[in-house]
A = this chain, B = another copy of it.
Amino acid sequence: MSLNSFGHLFRVTTWGESHGPAIGCTVDGCPPGFALSEADIQPWLDRRKPGQNKYTTQRKEPDEVRILSGVYEGMTTGTPIQLMIENTDQRSKDYGEIAQSFRPGHADITYHQKYGIRDPRGGGRSSARETASRVAAGGVARAVLAGMVPGLKITGYMVQMGTKVIDRSRFDAAEIERNPFWVPDAQAAADWAVYLDELRLSHNSVGAVIEVVAEGVPPGLGAPLYAKLDSDLAAAMMSINAVKGVEIGEGMASAALTGVENADEIRMGPDGPEFLSNHAGGILGGISTGQPVVCRFAVKPTSSILTPRKTVTRDGNEVDLVTKGRHDPCVGIRAVPVGEAMMACVILDHLLLDRGQTGGVRGQIG
């Protein structure tokens, strides 16, 4: 019910505004007895950190996470884990104008309409900065998953930036960490750099599609019908700023398939049933199949741009607004670690939920 929480048993509540003293989250329901320190979380935050290259906002912040509770002598205790990240680079002067006018495509106007008041500094609560809390929570989830499901691996990458779509025949996982776009293709990385530079210099921005894959997810996770694994993933990804679409497996393209094409046929392998394809994206009936869980989401282009756009002020005056300040030309880039974090949280949550209801015992085949 909580408006700023997600998850059932592994439950994360985030708080904080972009330019307040700090942001953070409470991770409740974490299993006890897992090794955890700031050093387990910080690397994930460092991947999301702005200012690492010219394609992300030039805001410079160390984004250092502190664990304030729930850990004793380097181990989780089962009590709530409070993670706090101080905001150190708050240039509130940049945002004076937007206190009075509403950036088109931004949450400014709806926060104002709903609450009658909003914190305009850096976008306040609607800033992408909130996603740092998600990444921190994801770091906790990963630390626990590492112990509970040793073979689990979560990988996010961009598959589309603007009109540029990757050629999957050139997919190279090793390339993901080598370029600023997290794109699994060196050639695409080079092309996209030129493309995004042009957009940035023309005071424009562009959207993106991120794919997150979880390998090694055990079968049986997901609780039909309203706590389905895919339903929870959809909610988790759609809750990320600027996301406008979520797909599982074939996603929207499944509409164009026939039943014959779409069926993931099954044969017996050495360790049990094996699927001959994965159109389902690892989820059937809301429950994981044991295949890789494949999720994609689209991020709209950054709405804060240097090109003037028509809007109105709180007083009802019509103006043309240029959003000065430091903005990501493609906010989708930094959404990659965020999507991974949400995947980690959802999977751990469902591991605990399934263990609660079923004891984790699996029906046998063969």
CB of A186 closer than 8 Å to a CB of B: no
Interface pairs (20), CB distance under 8 Å: A1-B8, A3-B80, A3-B223, A15-B81, A16-B82, A32-B357, A33-B116, A72-B121, A79-B124, A104-B264, A105-B284, A113-B287, A116-B364, A126-B285, A238-B248, A253-B298, A255-B300, A258-B301, A261-B301, A265-B309
With both chains docked as a complex, state the minimum distance between the C-beta of A332 and any C-beta of chain B, in angstroms. Answer: 7
B352 engages A256 (CB within 8 Å): no
For the complex, count residues of A whose C-beta is within 8 A of B: 165
Which residues of the other chain, B, contact A289 by a CB distance below 8 angstroms?
A: 109-110, 113
CB of A292 closer than 8 Å to a CB of B: no
CB of A359 closer than 8 Å to a CB of B: yes
Within 8 Å by CB of A262, from B283, B303, B314, lies B303
A244 engages B251 (CB within 8 Å): yes
A31-B359, A104-B263 given; name 12 further pairs at CB < 8 Å.
A2-B13, A2-B227, A17-B72, A110-B288, A114-B219, A114-B287, A234-B235, A235-B238, A245-B247, A253-B298, A353-B356, A355-B356
Tallying the copies of this chain within the complex gives: 4
Which residues of the other chain, B, contact A224 by a CB distance below 8 angstroms?
A: 3-4, 79, 107, 111, 125-126
**A287 CA / B3 CA spacing, docked (Å):** 12
Give A101's nearest chain B residue, CB to CB: B266
Contact with B along A299-318 (1 / 0, CB 8 A): 11111110101111011111
CB of A326 closer than 8 Å to a CB of B: no
Which residues of the other chain, B, contact A2 by a CB distance below 8 angstroms?
A: 2, 5, 11, 13, 28-29, 226-227
Q: Would you list the 9 A-B pairs with minimal beta carbon distance, nearest first?
A: A107-B285, A316-B366, A356-B356, A205-B259, A110-B287, A1-B1, A235-B235, A116-B363, A104-B263
Give A228's nearest chain B residue, CB to CB: B239
A357 engages B9 (CB within 8 Å): yes
With A284-B109, A358-B114, A359-B355 known as contacts, the answer to whether A163 contacts B256 (CB < 8 A) is: yes
